[in-house]
Chains A and B, each alone.
Chain A
Amino acid sequence: MTATDDETALINRARQGDRDAFGALVRLHEVNIRRLAAGILLDPVEAEDAAQEVFVKAWQALGRFRGDAAFSTWLHRIAINHCRDISRARSKRRWLSWDGLVETLGGREPVEAAGPADATTRGTDARDSLRDLLGGLPAGWREILVLREVEGLSYVEIAETLDTTEDSVRAKLKRAREAVRDAARHERTVPDV
């Protein structure tokens, strides 16, 4: 029996209400969904909660999974949609918040003075800068970049997940990478590994 056969068997059992089978599916896919949520939301706590919610939604919608796409693609799609909902809610909250008001008025909140950089903080700073770069991208570009660079999906799989064409994925991925490259060149803070 192959891994795919195993997964199909688990899906069939889960569709009949077998929670243990669904638990096994969660175990198979949790790392990918947590990474995807973290890459899109860029907030570890929010991402962890979002990833949990993705599986709850998947359990509730399992009856509608027809198997046209791979189970992983279906999960990714739920995750992307859920992260979009969260981002929209976050934007709305921010728009109504004090931070949002300060931003709208063009002001800046005072920033805590940073201590002298050492080997430990340099890595953190670089990661923060990279996170900022990623966060500064349009949501659609960030989704594609994360699906490709973090999840390692092919262009076809990304197109299936986002319900778009392969050409569109190719074009947006190129622009997203160029934007990161340009920003990194400008900031000179993207860490070399």
Chain B
Amino acid sequence: MEHGDVVNRLDEYRDGELPAGVAREIAGHLETCSSCRAVLDDQAARARSLSGLVRAQPSDAFVRTVMERIAAEEAPTGVRWVMPTLAAGFAAASILVVLGLSTGNGETAASELLEVGDREIADSYRTIESSEVPTHDQVLGMLVEEES
């Protein structure tokens, strides 16, 4: 193997990523070539500098924090279920209250109309009620208009 080829493959040699035969050949060359040995040393030094740049020691605090974060992520899962359920419940209750109030008014108005025997007008009132929910006074106003 030529000197230039060896230089080109020194990184892979250092990484232990060459086929055994090629690695043996390079090892033989390194025994006699001080220039290649210097390149190899330089590469190794640079690799050590890189790995030394980001040191980390085992840390109990890190493990503890991770486990706390996991616990916290799971606790809000419950809260995430509870909060929307509460919110949905509140919204549903609000809708029911509104509907209940309007239905209450409507029922009152409708029974009054039934009392006077005018089912047709009562039905039409129910139709109006389901869309715009007019007030009691509005309904009476409409009836007065129809009669006149």
- A residues within 8 Å of B by Cβ? 19, 22-23, 26-27, 30-31, 34-35, 38-39, 48, 51-53, 55-56, 59-60, 126-127, 130-131, 134, 145-146, 148-150, 154-155, 170, 173-174, 177, 180-181, 184, 190-193
Contacts and interface: CB of A to CB of B under 8 A. Distances in A.
Contacts of B67: 19, 22-23, 26
A146 B53 CA distance: 10
B65 interface: yes
B58 A38 contact: no
B50 A150 contact: yes
Given A26-B62, A150-B50, 18 more contacts: A19-B71, A22-B70, A23-B67, A26-B66, A27-B58, A30-B63, A34-B62, A35-B55, A38-B54, A39-B53, A51-B62, A53-B69, A131-B53, A134-B53, A154-B15, A170-B12, A177-B11, A184-B46
Contacts of B75: none
Contact of B50 (A23, A60, A126, A130): A130
B96 interface: no
Contact of A31 (B56, B69, B70): B56
Contact of B62 (A48, A53, A126, A130): A48
Interface string B60-83: 001101110111010000000000
Interface in B40-63: 43, 45-59, 62-63
B46 A127 contact: no
B70 A56 contact: yes
A154 B123 CA distance: 81
A79 B57 CA distance: 18
B7 to A, nearest CB: 12
A83 B62 CA distance: 18
15 contacts: A26-B62, A27-B63, A30-B62, A34-B59, A48-B62, A52-B62, A52-B65, A55-B70, A130-B49, A134-B50, A134-B53, A148-B15, A173-B11, A190-B46, A193-B45
Interface string B25-50: 00000000000000000010111111
B118 interface: no
